[in-house]
Chains A and B, each alone.
Chain A
Amino acid sequence: MFIAEDLIRPMTEPILIDDLTFAYDTHDVLNGLSLRVPAGSITALLGGNGAGKSTTLSTLLGFTRARSGTVEVCGMNPATDPDAVRRRIAYLPENVALYEHLTAVENADYLLALSGERQGHDAITAALAAAGLQDQAWHQRLGGFSKGMRQKVAIAVALLRQVPVLLLDEPTSGLDPRATADFSQLLLQVRERGTAILMVTHDLLSAADIADRIAFLEAGRVAHEVRADGPERFDVRALHARFQLGGDRLAA
């Protein structure tokens, strides 16, 4: 299996974006974006509305093709080889929508089957447990699930697929503080497996809480990149000032 090979062969930077440009008609969306996400790390791509966050994700997933620049996922180009790339990516949209008339286990089973990576019932329940979904919810229909619970199912699928890359779109929006904390814990677990995690968000607080690195996206490029410094992680107050400063400087 491809995936197993990928895991054996150390892939230091599964996500590699270099000097990416993209435009809708004449409107520039990405303008020389460069970003690397190493294996076993969580990177947050932070930006306001229209900064190019969604376009970056679409490019990585092979939905859109860049005008110029390099995009590689596990050494492959999503534009030319989308299926191979998607086999290595798990993607959680902002609103994780699953089949409401299926149970958690059935959803996981169906999505795994669609990916061509079926697993046994025990493996699925183990993954759901690992993702923090309580066992009484495994065989309930998804109709009454909260966003946090749905995310747990989707993460469980990602865990089972053992993909080297996890893409998250605004994962913490709409989660209550307790659920956000749960989710952070879960992501750390995934990181421990060596997965490269990229989350796009407009929420500095949650990014600072979860990520190892934060890339500030402004006008289609990464304007700053900061790393967590030891156990204190980020100085949010300083970051906030810097973030604001960046915006002001741009406006000036």
Chain B
Amino acid sequence: MSAVGLIARDEIRLMTRNRVAIIAFVLVVLLTLVAVASSWAHQRGIAELRARQAEAAETAFKAQPDRHPHRVVHYGTFIFRPLGPLAAFDPGVDAFTGNSMFLEGHRQNSANFGDVRQSSLLVRFGQLTPAFVLQVVAPLLLIFLGYGALARETERGTVRVLMLQGAARGQIVRGKLLALGAAALLAGLPAMIGLVAIAGQPGALVWPMLVLALGYIGYLALWTVLILLVSASVRRSRDALLALVAVWAVAVVLLPRVAPDLASAAIPLTNRLQTEVAVARDLRTMGDSHNPDDPHFAQFKQALLARYGVAKVEDLPINYKGALGIEGERLTSAVYGRYATANHAAQARQNSLVDAMGLLSPAIALRSLSMAAAGTDLAGHQRFLEQAEAYRYALVQRLNRMQMEDVSYADDGATDAGADRRKRVSARNWQAMPDFRFIAPDGRTLAAAALPGLAIVFAWLAGALILLMVASRRLGAR
């Protein structure tokens, strides 16, 4: 057996003889299994619940009686954000975003009923998911297993004994790397098996799964190298342990919290009240459909009359109120859309600020990589919001067109006893409405979104390896 292999075997033998290490290792594996099981059950439960609720909402929509189309604009519809299979591995922001939305005319409502407002305060301590175990707990386990790998040998002087037996510095370090790397692989294995099991549909999500696996392997490899780097650089194993726990606390616990706070202070978001007031202001300046003298709508009316070659709205072959509804919705949607885009852009800027801090903490980079690949990051939520808005707009405009074409202007304004009956359109129309179907992004899109995080993790790994090479040259010198 080569010197590297011998050293690795000796290190592994030491780990297996350390009862505390074995217990810690077994506990982490158990924790991973519990996390995989509970997270998977949770994701499936949520996915089924939302599918059921979405079906109930669709059924209710289609079961509407004959109605005036504008009633249906306000009856609106509820849609639910489906949860992809990889959310069982990393649910990301799912608990923090509302997962149901009420879609209606003239308004863009918020997504409501996120888990974070429906759970006890414990939800803010973190969520037990495979991603959490690998991101937070596994590095600490590796620190416990490996802090002494080189510091212990230096402290006891055995590193010189090894070198006198003909082992080169590089061989010693490679042997230790091999041993701790094996432990890291073993620690990450249950989560990886869980990932494969969770992903379910083979082939469909191959790219994001590959990126996820690569990212986590890179992350654990980075910790393995970091641990040996610190262990090689200090003289006492206690100092190695304290320094590593400090590095872990800063990189995994502190910076991921500080970065978002800095980002939200640097790029403030406009709150809903101010947005709504601004939207109302913009709409007033663009055109006020309530104001009979409003220049925009006066012009709109004139253009319409000219197009049909008539003098009065009563003579139009279409229902003027429906046409007005279409124009009004067009305007409000454009304004709301502008503010929503600005808001999304501000949030994206906040996130890129946090991502930039991934240069300081690989845990931040890995987290954003992981959520991006799983499709559970902010971009995933915004994808839902955009599709929801597109669906809402199409739905409302279909209803407005229905009012324009199927309800006569005379009936629409009438208040006689039978008028209510004549204004309604057939219930068959509701059944013909398309349902909301969230179009999930394809694997390549998700994987591509995760690449920047992956690059940062591997840049860290490369940097740590170089430093380890430098540090190992001084091994045994003191």
A and B: direct contact (Cβ < 8 Å)?
no
Report which A residues bind B (CB closer than 8 A). none
